[in-house]
Amino acid sequence: MLKEPISITAISSISSLGNSSEEIWNSYLDDNHCLSEVTIGKQNVWGSTLTNSVSSEIENLRQSDTKYKELDNSVLFAIYTARKVVQEASWENTINFGINIGSSRGATALFEKYHEEFLKEGKSSTLSSPTTTLGNISSWVAHDLKSKGPDISHSITCSTALHALLNGIAWIQSGMTNKFLIGGSEAPLTPFTIAQMQALNIYSKDAGEFPCRALDLRKKRNTMVLGEGAAMACLEKGKNRNTIALVEGIGYATEPLEHNVSISTDAKCFQESMKMALGDLDSDEVDAIVMHSPGTVKGDLSEFKAIEKVFCNKPPFLTTNKWKVGHTFGASGMLSVELAILMLQRQQVIRVPYIIYDTVPNRIQRVIVNAVGFGGNAVSILLKEPNL
């Protein structure tokens, strides 16, 4: 657990859920998913796309500056969301804050486009390198916000956004800065990305009521669905009047893998990360866990078994948002943090509609958020309500 709590003073996101806290919360209250059949390349697949209104605003952003016209959607998503969250945190006139925004895939749509052109013409476009480097996201956000603090981009697969949170906390606790903008952005609905997930045999082929069956431990086949989106949060040292949630504990772990994409049957990485986040806190003090739960058979079950071991077969309330919004890769961890904060603020849990719950908590004071990616790199974040 942290010696001194770190405040989250604002959080903002864009996804198929919407782009305002009220719209997103109302979407969570609706038991219908936000997935749709989309045409990616030459095939129709399940996907989770931005709402039409947000897509329109992203296009307006692209046209607002000649330099932005050549940027990948992952960068534009980040710029748009960063502007919103900085405004919510009242940082508009602040320039001395750090930025760490990551992405699992980066500018994959542009990379696929430029690579296809190279195969056809035998030469590369002038802007192919600067617009497809992973550092694009944080550097362009820093340019747009005129920030003079450190800007860091990284990819740690699906736990990218929560690793950004870890980095932000480390910088703040080091004393080198008091504020950090952190998050993740992802635009993975591209032909090659979909083909890669299909090659792993983890992409959903279900045509039922819920194409993604995340957290359904009885499912017989994989049901991952990809989604596009971005989510950002503003971190500040200590607690202040703008605090919407406190980061009480952080945990992280990486486990040796037997296969490039495997995870142990009881997710030892998650066991270690959750134990680290809990510290000396009694596990009974945790009211809910927002699971990573990507909708795969092994991934969902292994995380559940890890929770059973850490919580001595008495798991708290379990939920996930991937059945509803899909897996947004590098942005997914921060979307889960947003769900946790909304539940803390509203004092209401969000159920997965096809899961039968024996009990639900009457009061939500602490929530753990989990994320893990290829490579077994797990992160667990312990959040608590500010007035606790």
Domain boundary among 237, 256, 290: 237
The most distant pair of C-alpha atoms in the chain lies apart, rounded to whole Å, by 63
Residue 55 belongs to some domain of the structure: yes
For the segment 13-34, what is each residue's pLDDT rounded down to a tens digit?
A: 999 999 999 999 999 999 999 9
Indicate whether 388 belongs to any domain.
no
Whether 242 maps to a domain, the answer reads: no
Shared domain for 116 and 163, answered yes or no, is yes
CATH of the domain at 185: 3.40.47.10
Q: Give tens-digit pLDDT for 220-236.
A: 999 999 999 999 999 99
Q: Indicate whether 274 belongs to any domain.
A: yes
Same domain, 355 and 333: yes
Measured distance CA(139)–CA(366) in Å, rounded: 34
On whether both 204 and 284 belong to a single domain, the answer is no
Confidence of residue 260 (pLDDT cuts 50, 70, 90): low
Q: Is the pTM of this model over 0.95?
A: yes
Look up the domain containing 232 and give its range.
Answer: 6-237
- One domain, residues 80 and 173: yes
pLDDT at 265: 82
Cβ atoms of 106 and 165 closer than 8 Å: no
Boundary (domain end) residue, out of 237, 262, 287: 237
pLDDT tens per residue across span 305-321: 999 999 999 999 999 99
- Looking at the structure, do residues 212 and 271 belong to the same domain, yes or no? no
The pLDDT assigned to 93 comes to: 84
Asked if residue 156 and residue 39 are part of one domain, the reply reads yes
Within 10 A of 84 (CB to CB), how many other CB atoms are there?
A: 18
The answer to whether residues 197 and 266 belong to one domain is no
Which of 237, 266, 291 is at the close of a domain? 237
One DSSP character per residue, 105-145 reads S-SHHHHHHHHHHHHHHSS--TTHHHHHSTTHHHHHHHHHH
Whether residues 140 and 117 share a domain: the answer is yes
Quick one: 259 and 315 in the same domain? yes
Number of structural domains in the chain: 2
pLDDT number for residue 261: 54
